[in-house]
């Protein structure tokens, strides 16, 4: 890579132009529309379009400041991929076929996103969580989910309408399963058998990527099963999971998705809860030193970079999804990774494309 080409690419990255950083890397974020990203991703005129809503979290109230869905066209001027999380909380259709508010929101994203946009959707927890969190009179409980692994409902209420709305822009679906204590979990082989039956019945051609948040279920039996079925393993930097480097070793140092895409989600610092990370990152308009300037944060960036170059050796594309909670500001985290990848390209004296 020539010095001139390096400086030109570095200038683009500095300006948050994070598309096409490397042929084996797509950069994106978990959700979008944050008013704190005005001046980085979104033009100043969006200041006039901000809507606010209160959010209660662990006894504190935060004011969330959000932009309209139409801002997604500006988002995709900077990023290659977008993970939409609202589908996790409610399916796109009710059991009787009626559209939900989530379907209307997804249709708005489809309307305003460019033709080359790529979306990752989270499957509804209603179909993939063994237990569901309930809050009554301030008391939180976890109740068994009667629709756990209901493949028919998942297909009819989520996958089919998602495919109808997004078409080829639907890159894949993330199936996230909550943390489960050992005493509350099936043994790893029984867990794999249950998941295998679910994906047999699901019978979908949309690429699935699985994120199990229980380390004791991340066994060779599980990873061998993912590889046989062509299901993706989500490398997740999350509270109670091991480091990305450790996850790479656990999975047998392989990428398992049939479509040769991998998903990396950078969600929270390790051993830090959602609520604590959210409170530290808020209002998401800049990197926060106690999140972004730690040894763990540096290792996270280096581990992602290593995955990108390993993927390049195997013809895999790594889709890196940055979250505000992991860094304070997701665009700055994505930019930091882009800079590190570019530095490694120069160090190895590689052509960029």
Model confidence band, residue 351 (pLDDT cutoffs 50, 70, 90):
low
CA–CA distance from 230 to each of 7, 205, 243, 257, 306 (Å)?
39, 11, 23, 5, 22
Ramachandran angles phi, psi of 159, nearest 5°: -65, -45
* pLDDT at residue 133 in the model: 85
* Residue 86 in this model has a pLDDT that exceeds 70: yes
pLDDT for 179-234, tens place per residue?
A: 999 999 999 999 999 999 999 999 889 999 999 999 999 999 999 999 999 999 99
167 — alpha (psi -120 to 50), left (phi > 0) or beta? left
Q: Cis ω on the peptide bond leading into residue 39 (within 30° of 0)?
A: no
Is a pLDDT exceeding 70 seen at residue 353? no
How far apart, in Å, do the first and last CA atoms of the chain sit? Answer: 10
CA–CA dist 166, 128 (Å, integer):
22
Q: What CATH code would you report for 3-347?
A: 3.20.20.410
Given a cut of 90, whether residue 136 has pLDDT beyond it is no
- Segment 292-313 shows an average pLDDT of 98
Instruction: Say if residue 113's pLDDT is above 70.
Output: yes
- Given this model, what pLDDT does residue 153 score? 98
* Both tokens assigned to 166: 């997004």
User: pLDDT tens-digit profile of 13-25?
Assistant: 999 999 999 999 9
* Domains of the chain, residue spans: 3-347
Residue 6 exposed, middle or buried by CB count within 10 Å (0-12, 13-18, 19+): middle
pLDDT tens-digit readout, 30-66: 999 999 999 999 999 999 999 999 999 988 999 999 9
Identify the pLDDT of residue 142.
85
Q: Percentage of the chain surpassing pLDDT 90?
A: 93
| pLDDT for residue 315 | 98
Residue 135 confidence class, pLDDT cut points 50, 70, 90: confident
Question: Taking the model in full, what pTM does it have?
Answer: 0.96
- Residues 5, 353: Cα–Cα separation, whole Å: 11
């Amino acid at each position: 890579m020539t010095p001139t080409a390096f400086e030109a690419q570095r200038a683009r990255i500095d300006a948050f132009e994070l598309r096409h950083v490397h042929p084996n890397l797509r950069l994106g974020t978990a959700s979008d529309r944050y008013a704190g990203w005005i001046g980085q991703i979104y033009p100043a005129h969006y200041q006039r379009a901000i809507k606010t809503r209160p959010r209660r979290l662990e006894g504190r109230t935060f004011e969330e400041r959000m932009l309209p869905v139409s801002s997604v066209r500006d988002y995709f001027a900077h990023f290659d991929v977008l993970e939409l999380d609202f589908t996790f909380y409610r399916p796109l259709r009710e059991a009787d076929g009626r559209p939900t508010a989530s379907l209307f929101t997804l249709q708005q994203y489809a309307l305003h996103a460019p033709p080359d946009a790529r979306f990752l959707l989270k499957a509804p927890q209603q179909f993939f969580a063994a237990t569901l969190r309930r809050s009554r009179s301030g008391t939180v409980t976890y109740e068994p989910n009667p629709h756990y692994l209901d493949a028919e409902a998942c297909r009819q209420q989520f996958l089919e309408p998602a495919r109808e709305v997004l078409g080829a822009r639907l890159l894949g679906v993330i199936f996230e399963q909550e943390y489960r204590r050992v005493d509350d979990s099936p043994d790893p082989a029984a867990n794999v058998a249950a998941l295998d039956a679910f994906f047999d019945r699901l019978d979908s051609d949309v690429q699935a990527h699985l994120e199990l948040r229980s380390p004791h279920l991340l066994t060779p039996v599980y990873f061998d099963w993912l590889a046989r079925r062509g299901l993706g393993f989500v490398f997740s930097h999350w509270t109670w999971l091991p480091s990305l480097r450790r996850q790479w070793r656990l999975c047998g140092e392989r990428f398992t998705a049939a479509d040769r895409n991998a998903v990396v989600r950078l969600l929270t610092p390790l051993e830090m809860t959602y609520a604590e990370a959210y409170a530290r990152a808020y209002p998401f308009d800049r990197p926060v030193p106690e999140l972004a300037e730690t040894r763990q944060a540096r290792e996270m960036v280096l581990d992602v970079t290593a995955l990108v170059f390993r993927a390049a050796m195997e013809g895999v594309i790594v889709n890196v999804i940055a979250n505000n909670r992991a860094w304070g500001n997701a665009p700055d985290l994505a930019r930091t990774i882009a800079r590190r990848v570019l530095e490694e390209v120069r160090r190895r004296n590689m052509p960029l494309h």
